[in-house]
Amino acid sequence: MSDALRVAVVTGATSGIGKATVQALRSKGLTVYAVGRNEEALSELAATCGAQTIRADVRDTSAIVEALKGVEVDVLVNNAGILSTRAVFQEIDPAEIDAMIDVNLKAPMHLTRALLPGMVERRRGHLIFIGSIGGQSAFPNSSAYGASKAGLSLFCDNLRLDLLGSSVRVSEIVPGAWRHRSTAPLSRAIRQMPYSTMAIARSSRKILRR
């Protein structure tokens, strides 16, 4: 891992891939700010791996930025994401459309917008986005989720162009499905795909090492 990258922020840090990413980055000696809403899970992360914690809704960019005042963030892992409903589009609650676009697409864009100027100025930074196979191909009952993740994917590609020559890197990790409560309604074949949270978290660590 590049010695220059010392401070990371990980959203969705209280569970799954985010929690494993915090542990993976802490094990490499980075100072890690773990963002989430679940206070108990945040306290556990602080106690077990020494993460700094920020209790905030990822949609509340200003609360997160305020908590990071004076911190030079080198790595932002935009991981928080929801698949809040699984139904054919004509049956989903319209509020779920907003929830998935807000958490999966708008929140990472706003947090990136807030933290990127410092990275560009310091000529040091790495933005990591946790996308989804659901943003690369069509799956049944996933239209709003898929659209949010497809948008995130194209955002990454465009951002990479904007940042050419800036020394700030952009990476998208595109997991398949791993065994988790949110994947329970998926088909057996998808649930048997051999991913683990730690394997996905190690991708972030490997990317930073390059």
Ligand X SMILES: NC(=O)c1ccc[n+]([C@@H]2O[C@H](COP(=O)([O-])OP(=O)(O)OC[C@H]3O[C@@H](n4cnc5c(N)ncnc54)[C@H](OP(=O)(O)O)[C@@H]3O)[C@@H](O)[C@H]2O)c1
Residues assigned a catalytic role: 145
Interface residue with ligand X among 53, 79, 142, 203 (CB under 6 A) is 79
Contact flag: residue 198 with ligand X (CB under 6 A): no
Name residue, tokens 């005042």.
69
Q: What SS3 state is found at 60?
A: coil
Subset of residues 90 to 129 that bind ligand X, contact rule: CB under 6 A: 103
Site string for ligand X, 135-174 (x = CB under 6 A): ----------------------------------------
Whether residue 77 contacts residue 9, with contact meaning beta carbons closer than 8 Å, is answered with: yes
C-alpha span between 193 and 48 (Å, rounded): 29
- The distance of Cα 151 from the centroid of its chain, to the nearest Å, equals 14
Q: What SS3 state is found at 50?
A: coil
Q: Shortest distance, CB of residue 81 to ligand X, whole angstroms?
A: 2
Contact flag: residue 36 with ligand X (CB under 6 A): yes
Backbone angles phi, psi at 19, to 5 degrees: -60, -45
Q: Which parts of this chain interact with ligand X (CB under 6 A)?
A: 12-18, 36-38, 41, 57-59, 79-82, 103, 130, 132, 175, 177-178, 180, 182-183
